[in-house]
Amino acid sequence: MASELATTQRTTPAPTPAWVWLLMVVLIAITVYSGYTALSNNVTLADAQTARENLERDKSRLEANVADLTTQLEAAKQTEEQATNALKQSRADTEAANGQISDLQAQIGDLEDKTTALEKQVSELQAKAEAADTLQAQVDKLKSDLAATNARADAAEKSAATQKAQVDSLKAAQTQTQKKLEAALNDLAQAAKKVEAAAPVRSGESAQP
């Protein structure tokens, strides 16, 4: 039995040192890692190539977008300038319109005052026209009265002429009568004188017997 153990010990190889196993593990790990790295590098390179191509496309698209945005920005700046100019013009127009509105309001106020004054004048003229109509009616009445008075005056003048002729005739008759009266009075006076002259003589004759 001891011989069998000795034979077994002689035939069993010596165990492999741990550093060998470690070295093999390390080599295997390095190999695996190298393969993985190579594979990963290939994948990464392909991804990088794809990414580069994508980046190129994105760059082209971005450049186009940038150009488009630049154009839009320039258009927006022009639009903004136009809007600013339009706003300035609008403000200027608004100020001018406000000035014109103020002027128009002042003109409207003046026109209202003038209209009020004209309406007052019209009222006064209407009152004067009514007064003129009244005066015209009075004048027409006075004319009618004057015509009637003239007619009466003409008739009175004709009557006066007739009466004047009558008066003249009466005056002539009165003159004749006055003359006759004066002559009669003269005769009466002379007769009285004769009577007075004869009266003393008669009184003397009556005294002598």
12 has pLDDT over 80: no
* Report for 153-157, 185-189, 198-202: range of highest mean pLDDT: 185-189
Q: Residue 57 falls within a domain, yes or no?
A: yes
> Does residue 9 lie in a domain region?
no
Residue 207: pLDDT over 60: no
Mean per-residue pLDDT, 119-148: 80
Query: pTM for this one?
Result: 0.32
Task: Name the amino acid, one letter, at 140.
Answer: D
Residue by residue, DSSP assigns 61-128 as HHHHHHHHHHHHHHHHHHHHHHHHHHHHHHHHHHHHHHHHHHHHHHHHHHHHHHHHHHHHHHHHHHHH
Element (H, E) at 45: helix 18-207
Q: CA distances (Å), 180 to each of 13, 55, 167, 174, 183, in order?
A: 229, 171, 19, 9, 5
Residue 120 counted as domain residue = yes
In a domain, 35, yes or no: yes
Domain total of the chain: 1
- Which amino acid is residue 135, in one-letter code? L
pLDDT digits (tens, 9 = 90+) for 79-123: 888 888 888 888 888 888 888 888 888 888 888 888 888 888 888
Question: Which domain covers residue 68, as residue numbers?
Answer: 22-196
For 142, the token pair is 């006075």
**Backbone angles phi and psi of 170, in degrees to 5:** -65, -40
Distances (CA, A) of 96 to 23, 88, 90, 101, 104: 98, 12, 9, 8, 12
**Residues present in the chain in total:** 209
Mean pLDDT of 161-188: 82
Residue 186 lies in a domain: yes
pLDDT confidence tier of residue 203, bands split at 50, 70 and 90: low
The answer to whether residue 207 sits within a structural domain is no
Domain annotation covers residue 1: no
State mean pLDDT over 26-47.
Answer: 79
Residue 204 lies in a domain: no
